[in-house]
Structure 1
């Protein structure tokens, strides 16, 4: 693949969110030591980032499917920052409409400062009405609030000790916040796959985090992002992401599900290179596993045997 840059690869951490859609059985009894072990394994294997989700409170009606296990992303990523050195720390995604932008900026600027500039701030609109209502946030206008929140966060995470923003939902000036982020520009990736979310990602983000688009949908979505950015005259660096199918390096001795991509490392690499051909810059991978040890083995095998062929 001469002339084509390699795909970056990252991972949504296990344990820290336990929706029944993707949680493995072993995670229900796991804890902080398991999170640390997986984050360290990911760093050792050359993963670009480890990621953490965001829900403050899950209503009883959704708890059977979503569970109520959702670690706080700032606390979790700060904990992992202290036990790693290089891997980037991604909120995938922070529901920033639940909090005032100055509060979000204070938390994530501190995280970036403490981690030596490793934050990638992923943001999204959220989807749980009761969560918004309990916190006094506007659920019906959450898209418009997110649009403005991104602008406010650009200011509040920028170089100025006294950031300034004047908008419809938020207005602040003359209020100082230190420490400042270690990075001169904190990357801001926008999550979601609805037409509004894709437009927001194209026009307001430094990258796009799709919400589970299958491979066949990605080319059209990526094409739309490119057109929107071109039409708006935006030509800065941009990172297109994708969530891969579940993976298993090698031939599993157990039932991993029909959607899981399995096989020898070169076959997995060949399958994943198709994302690069679509215009994807980074893939978020997930591995099937029956234990922490099997997961860290999969992470190591991917880094050593699959990644060099990406």
Structure 2
């Protein structure tokens, strides 16, 4: 089981984000992502929201850094850790826009992109951008097929009901022959979409028992990633046993990868927590083998 990070500062969800994140500077963030890279964490995340309705900010939060800019910054500060969108909303973009922008990121990072995608859940944001809310599911399915055909070639072709293109050059493109595509969501439709069209599933807002039942109802392909979240923030320094137990429970539920939120009082304390968390996963893996 691999561990990724729900990157602090860049997304601040009430009840999950810590107080210190509000005033954190870029260099504090850089120190965290550099250490995560050195400690062997699998990926860093960044989400996408263009504008959150004020009425929803209390639940969703209002701080969402742009994923392309942010992950590009992370790429320049790290050497091996993967860069995961969690998620890009498919309905806000043409597939070739995603292929060009994030294909460039894949090239700049030496092939470290994980493209997390989602259908979207904010009708007001769709309306703001002139995107199609009613048909977002069908268009997302087709956009994923288009992305699969287009991410890793400079001469993409696709012929669908919503997207058609040929005779175009998109240069640069991704350097990975197959960019991993993870699908976010909380419904059976999102899981089926992930199994049929993607390489992994990133559920949110679901309990472990719900996730276990959903995974048991479909055939999971070989090599498919189940990317589960710790939910509440982990405290590996003060609660090492509880942290290990939480990770073991997620592994038992089917997680191949876990996105970790980490509690901290400051950027320095966050770095200490990361070091403790890296040691915790080593202990979990050792005990599992024993």
Q: What CA distance in whole angstroms lies between the structure 1 residues aligned with 2:118 and 2:61?
A: 20
d(CA) in 2 for partners of 1:101 and 1:121? 12
Match of 1:82 in 2: 76
Partners of 1:307 and 1:137 in 2: how far apart? 45
- Given that 1:13 and 1:51 are in contact with CA atoms closer than 8 Å, whether structure 2 keeps it comes out as yes
What per-residue deviation string (whole Å, max 9, x for no partner) do you get for residues 145-167 of structure 1? 11111011111103x32111111
**Equivalent position of 2:11 in the other structure:** 17
Aligned position for 1:249: 236
Task: Give the number of equivalent residue pairs.
Answer: 284
The residue that corresponds to 2:105 in the other structure is 111
Q: 1:34 touches 1:292 (CA, 8 Å); kept in 2?
A: yes
In the alignment, what sits opposite 1:202?
A: 195
Residue in 2 that maps onto 1:155: 149
| TM superposition score normalised by structure 2 | 0.93
Match of 1:289 in 2: 264
Residue 240 of structure 2 corresponds to which residue in structure 1? 263
Over residues 243-301 of structure 1, what are the superposed CA-to-partner deviations in whole Å (9 max), with x where a residue is unaligned? Answer: 114211132xxxxxxxxxx234xx53344223223322111111111111111110111
RMSD: 1.6
**Structure 2 match to 1:221:** 214
Runs of 4+ with >4 A deviation: none
> How far is the alpha carbon of 1:303 from its aligned partner?
0.8
2:288 aligned residue: none
C-alpha distance in 2 between matches for 1:150 and 1:94: 12
2:37 to 23, 37, 43: 43
TM-score (norm 1): 0.87
**3-state SS of paired residue (2:134):** coil
Pick from 144, 168, 179 the counterpart of residue 172 of structure 2.
179
Map Cα deviations across residues 32-83 of structure 1 (whole Å, 9 max, x no partner).
Answer: 2222122112112211000001001112322344343211101100111001
5+ residue gaps, structure 2, are: 286-290
2:99/2:173 contact within 8 Å kept: no
From 278, 282, 287, give the equivalent of 1:307: 282
Stretches of structure 1 that go unaligned for 5 or more consecutive residues are 1-6, 230-234, 252-261
CA separation in 1, counterparts of 2:118 and 2:207?
Answer: 19
Q: Is the 8 A contact 2:3 2:259 kept in 1?
A: yes
Structure 1 residues 66 and 212, CA gap change in structure 2 (3 angstroms): closer
